[in-house]
């Protein structure tokens, strides 16, 4: 089967679940593309960034159209932090690829860090969790910085830690946290793409699969936003936990495969 079609199917499903749960599709796309193994770590991170960036743009637009109220002060500062963090994360990934011998070790680092964030997010949403109600701009900025950094470094766009950290720090309901998470993902991936364009450029990647990726990302973003508007908060939480377990299994499999 044409690899573009395979990527198309994966991205539609991943971005639909990612938009509903607020994780972004990259948390599924990255490990599944790693499992397929058709492209390098750098190329997969790039494709994932494009898919998640387009999904976040479409999903945010649809959520606003759905009438979701947004605290623009919170959204702006978290997003600004995500831009800075996204640029730093992209630079760090480039340095790791350059300094470590081969994609294998970089992929292993990404897998280990992703598994840590997955376990944290799952336990936080399952257990009786503490919540803070931080209101200062510095906390918004630091939150965005951390989320943007991890999103770009791990190549997963957003990840499960977004929603959990937003709930933990700012006492947001889960449906609101998913909206701010997707907004953060948009800006962190924008920073990542700008960093790639201004350093290595896009010529090193197989661009023939981009049309499949972009169209699939648009479809997934619309579907995810539509379902998110219809589902109650409890169901959104269920989807969130299901995605965490699914991605945890895929990442453990990929990690074991590296050593076989």
In order of 31, 62, 63, the CA distances from 28 in angstroms are 6, 22, 21
The residues, any chain, with a CB within 8 Å of residue 126's CB and separated by 6 or more, are 241
End-to-end CA distance of the chain, in Å? Answer: 26
Domain ranges of the chain: 3-259
The helix-helix angle for 160-170 and 103-126 (nearest 10°) equals 40
C-alpha–C-alpha distance, residues 78 and 208, integer Å = 34
pTM of this structure: 0.81
Burial readout 243-253 (b: 16 or more C-beta within 10 A, e: otherwise)? bbebbbebbee
Distance of CA 29 to the CA centre of its chain: 9
**Model confidence band, residue 132 (pLDDT cutoffs 50, 70, 90):** confident
- The pLDDT of 34-57, averaged and rounded, is 88
For all residues of the chain together, what is the average pLDDT?
85
pLDDT in tens, 56-100: 888 778 777 777 777 888 888 998 998 899 889 888 988 898 888
**Least confident span in 41-50, 151-160, 176-185:** 151-160
* Mean pLDDT lowest among 56-70, 94-108, 190-204: 56-70
| pLDDT category of residue 128 using cuts at 50, 70 and 90 | low
Residues 6+ apart with CB under 8 A from 182: 19, 22, 24, 55, 56, 59, 60, 63, 158
DSSP, collapsed to helix, strand or coil, labels residue 23 as: coil
pLDDT-above-90 percentage for the chain: 19
Is pLDDT of 158 > 70?
no
Residue 105, pLDDT score: 87
Q: How large is the average pLDDT for residues 114-123?
A: 85
Report, as an integer, the average pLDDT of 164-176.
85
pLDDT exceeds 80 at position 120:
yes
The more confidently predicted of residues 66 and 8 is: 8
Three-state secondary structure string covering 237-259 = HHHHHHHHHHHHHHHHHHHHHHH
């Amino acid at each position: 089967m044409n690899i573009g079609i395979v990527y198309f199917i994966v991205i539609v499903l991943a971005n639909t679940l990612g938009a509903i749960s607020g994780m972004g599709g990259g948390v599924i796309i990255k490990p599944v593309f790693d499992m397929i193994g058709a492209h390098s770590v750098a190329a997969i991170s790039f494709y994932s960034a494009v898919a998640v960036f387009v999904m976040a743009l479409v999903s945010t637009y649809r959520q606003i159209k759905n009438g979701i109220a947004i605290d623009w002060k919170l959204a702006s500062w978290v997003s600004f932090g995500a831009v800075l963090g996204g640029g730093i994360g992209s630079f760090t990934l480039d340095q790791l690829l350059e300094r470590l011998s081969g994609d294998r070790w970089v992929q292993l680092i990404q897998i280990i860090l992703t598994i840590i964030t997955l376990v944290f997010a799952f336990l936080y949403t399952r257990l009786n969790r503490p919540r803070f109600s931080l209101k200062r701009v510095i906390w918004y900025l630091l939150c965005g910085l951390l989320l943007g950094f991890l999103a770009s470094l791990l190549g997963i766009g957003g990840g499960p830690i977004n929603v959990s950290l937003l709930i933990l720090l700012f006492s947001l309901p889960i449906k609101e946290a998913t909206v701010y998470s997707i907004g953060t993902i948009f800006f962190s991936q924008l920073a990542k793409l700008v960093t790639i364009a201004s350093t290595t450029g896009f010529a090193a990647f197989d661009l023939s699969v981009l049309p499949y990726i972009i169209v699939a990302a648009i479809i997934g973003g619309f579907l995810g936003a539509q379902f998110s508007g219809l589902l109650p908060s409890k169901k959104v939480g269920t989807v969130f936990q299901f995605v965490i377990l699914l991605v945890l299994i895929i990442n453990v499999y990929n990690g074991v495969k590296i050593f076989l």
